[in-house]
Amino acid sequence: MKRLILIRHAKSSWDYPMLADFDRPLNPRGRRDAPIMALRLQGLLTPPFRMIASPAVRALTTAQLFAETFELPEAQISIDKRIYDATPGTLLHLINTLDEADDQVLMFGHNPGFTDVARLLVDGPLPFIELPTCGVVILGFEEERWQDIVPGSAQVLAFRYAKEGQQ
């Protein structure tokens, strides 16, 4: 079984209007939430797994905070520029070309692409309307190969989000 873990970047800062969208950093809440979400996710993952991130500052920083929490070297994070501002079709193509040796892939990126690709892959309702910042959805596939994954072939195995359990 292949498992794709979509992780939307943690909360970003809008304090620097002169920065391009690509360069926006995490705000303090995002820096706090990412390690907490990594700890929540840790119990749901069985190593080994691959980590792939958008090169945008907020997504890459989120991936780095997860790697630090998992006690993994930052060098274990692959950067794929196709994730930034990706359409569902682009993300599906990326998924179909993942290394077959990897059964679990953590992908760090953005909305609307991540919500839209989850909608495309899951045959049925999602447990969210929009994947929230630092939200994590684990998708499971019966397919043995990434290249065989098609729309409607995923099951939602878990969904976690930063404000879970808060009122």
CATH of the domain at 36: 3.40.50.1240
**Confidence grade of residue 47 (pLDDT, cut at 50, 70, 90):** confident
Residue 81 domain flag: yes
Residue 166 domain flag: no
Residue 43 domain flag: yes
Q: What is the pLDDT of residues 137-158, one digit of tens each?
A: 999 999 999 999 999 999 999 9
pLDDT value at position 43? 84
Q: Is the pLDDT of residue 164 over 90?
A: no
Instruction: Tell me the residue range of the domain where 110 lies.
Output: 2-12+22-131+138-160
Residue 79 domain flag: yes
Residue 165 domain flag: no
**Confidence grade of residue 46 (pLDDT, cut at 50, 70, 90):** confident
Structural domain count, the chain: 1
Residue 88 domain flag: yes
Residue 90 domain flag: yes
Residue 17 domain flag: no
Q: Is the pLDDT of residue 165 over 80?
A: no
Q: What is the pLDDT of residues 6-35, one digit of tens each?
A: 999 999 999 988 999 999 999 999 999 999
Query: Token match 């994730």: residue?
Result: 83
Whole-prediction pTM: 0.96
